[in-house]
Amino acid sequence: MLLSHLLAAEGVESVIVEARSQDYVLARIRAGILEHSSVELLCSVGLGERIGRDGLEHRGIYLQSPGERHHIDFVDLVGRSVWVYGQTEVQKDLVSARTAAGQQILYGANDVSLHDVASDKPSVRFTDSDGSRQHLDADVVVGCDGSFGPSRDAIPDTVKRVWERVYPYSWLGVLAAVAPSTDELIYAWHPDGFAMHSMRSMQTSRLYLQVPNGTDVNQWSHQRIWAALAKRLGHTPGGWELTPGPITEASVLPMRSYVQAPMRYGRLFLAGDAAHIVPPTGAKGLNLAIADVALLAPALVALLRNNDPGPADDYSDVALRRVWRCTHFSWWMTSMLHVNGDPFDAQLQQAQLRWICTSRAAAAGLAENYAGLPLGQ
Ligand SMILES: Cc1cc2nc3c(=O)[nH]c(=O)nc-3n(C[C@H](O)[C@H](O)[C@H](O)COP(=O)(O)OP(=O)(O)OC[C@H]3O[C@@H](n4cnc5c(N)ncnc54)[C@H](O)[C@@H]3O)c2cc1C
């Protein structure tokens, strides 16, 4: 939807084919942190009003290991902040803006398939929400259909290459109707497993617990969740306490890294989760999807309006540089903070945390990656 917004600003028309209903898309709870350059981009294209009003600007994060909590100040270290503003809110802003502009958004599409993407006349076929079969001819098709959509599989196996890492743990994430017990996010290493205190607003907390893969969320009562969070997050000096509250949503999120290349095949371009997945520890998934389309929009404008194929030809290589940087950062944060039962690894993790908390150079590396590189890098 952001890509359509950017293209429309340059006079390039697009149609969005979405498998889910509008209600579903507007209610989905996912990412919550926007990088500095994501916010700059959204504001520059008229989508910043509610971010400025309802978003929470954070200078940094807290890193915690038992008995110690340190603030990593991104603004002081690298001159950039991040914003707490839910993906659901970004989605709402986009739906309002695109609906007001008359954007064609075809919700509830089934059996979506891509055809002739290697030719100059690619097409998309699907069954619309009324049950009629539809055929859409296009100049280009952009696969922004996440990790389960058909786009990534439309690139032949003989052309594509895939890298994948599945982690031996998941996150149990909860949304709670209670004011956050912290002013900025807490990332906590604990012998029982990683815990994180995030938020969506001054009234809503978002909290995560490391759990084994295959965990059934129904095995975790709300009381058990709060007790585990209090233990893992509360192990700190100064009498800090976690305030519990009503849990309104709980789910288990498996963690994996995945990269597929190239991100372009003929007239098919991939963006976001369709081409790459990161574990959420570095808060990169949504931001990387935004960075892809920020690069792709001008490339498509050059291709379709100015008959200049250069930026589109370069898209995959340029995008993959950032994808691999963020893939590394997300893996690095994940590996540093999640216990895996190996006592040697636990010592290495704590040594690394101590280094980041005591060395300005090490902290700056984390800050630069977390707050995000400028777009185009
Ligand atoms: C529970 C959860 C928590 C997350 N937390 C974070 C976080 O804290 N920080 C972070 O940065 N990232 C997080 N992410 C990841 C982040 O949400 C994604 O990286 C981001 O949404 C990617 O954007 P996208 O547009 O590529 O894909 P999506 O936002 O997934 O959009 C793809 C769209 O394609 C649609 N679609 C799927 N299949 C089809 C089809 N066959 N035909 C048509 N349409 C189709 C989907 O309905 C969806 O609307 C989280 C993800 C989940 C699931």
State how far the Cα of 311 lies from the Cα of 322, in Å rounded to an integer.
Answer: 16
Is 85 among the residues known to form the active site?
Answer: no
Nearest CA among 208, 184, 189, 183 for reference residue 356: 189
The percentage of residues in the chain with a pLDDT greater than 70, rounded to a whole number, is 99
pLDDT category of residue 87 using cuts at 50, 70 and 90: very high
Left (φ > 0), alpha (ψ -120 to 50) or beta: where does 159 sit? alpha
pLDDT tens column, 41-77: 999 999 999 999 999 999 999 999 998 999 999 999 9
State the pLDDT at residue 172: 98
Our CA dihedral for 172, 19, 45, 323, rounded to 10 degrees, sits at 60
Distance 355 CA to ligand 1 centre (A): 34
**Which pTM value belongs to this model?**
0.96
Count the Cβ atoms, other than its own, within 10 Å of residue 219: 9
Distance 171 CA to ligand 1 centre (A): 16
- Across the chain, mean pLDDT equals 96
Phi/psi of residue 311, each to 5°? -60, -35
Distance 148 CA to ligand 1 centre (A): 9
Cβ density class 227-258: b for 16+ within 10 Å, e for less: ebbbebbbbbeeeeebebbebeebebeebebb
Phi/psi of residue 261, each to 5°? -135, 150
- Match 């129904």 to its residue by tokens: 218
| Nearest residue (CA) to ligand 1, atom 40 | 149
Pocket of ligand 1 (CB under 6 A): 17-20, 25, 30-33, 87, 109, 112, 144-146, 148-150, 253, 272-274, 280, 283-287, 289
SS3 label, residue 121? coil
pLDDT category of residue 300 using cuts at 50, 70 and 90: very high
Is 58 among the residues known to form the active site?
Answer: yes
Q: Are 187 and 63 in contact (CB under 8 A)?
A: yes
Residue 236 has pLDDT above 90, yes or no: no
- Match 């007001």 to its residue by tokens: 100
- Among the options 5, 36, 58, 190, which is catalytic? 58
State how far the Cα of 211 lies from the Cα of 168, in Å rounded to an integer.
Answer: 9
63 DSSP β-pair partners: 70, 187
State how far the Cα of 151 lies from the Cα of 295, in Å rounded to an integer.
Answer: 19
Please list, in sequence order, all residues whose beta carbon lies within 8 angstroms of the beta carbon of residue 334, skipping any fewer than 6 positions away.
167, 255, 279, 281, 282
Residue 239 has pLDDT above 90, yes or no: no
pLDDT category of residue 137 using cuts at 50, 70 and 90: very high
State how far the Cα of 143 lies from the Cα of 163, in Å rounded to an integer.
Answer: 19
Please count the CA atoms within 13 angstroms of the CA of 250 that sit on its side-chain side: 17
Got the DSSP string for 269-324? EE-GGGTEE--GGGS-HHHHHHHHHHHHHHHHHHHHHS---HHHHHHHHHHHHHHH
Is 121 among the residues known to form the active site?
Answer: no
Phi/psi of residue 163, each to 5°? -120, 135
Q: Which of 30, 136, 211 to mutate to test the pocket of ligand 1 (most atoms within 8 A of CB)?
A: 30
pLDDT tens column, 193-234: 999 999 999 999 999 999 999 999 999 999 999 999 999 999
Nearest CA among 60, 68, 74, 73 for reference residue 354: 68
State the pLDDT at residue 275: 98
> What sign results for the dihedral spanned by CA atoms 285, 250, 192, 67?
positive
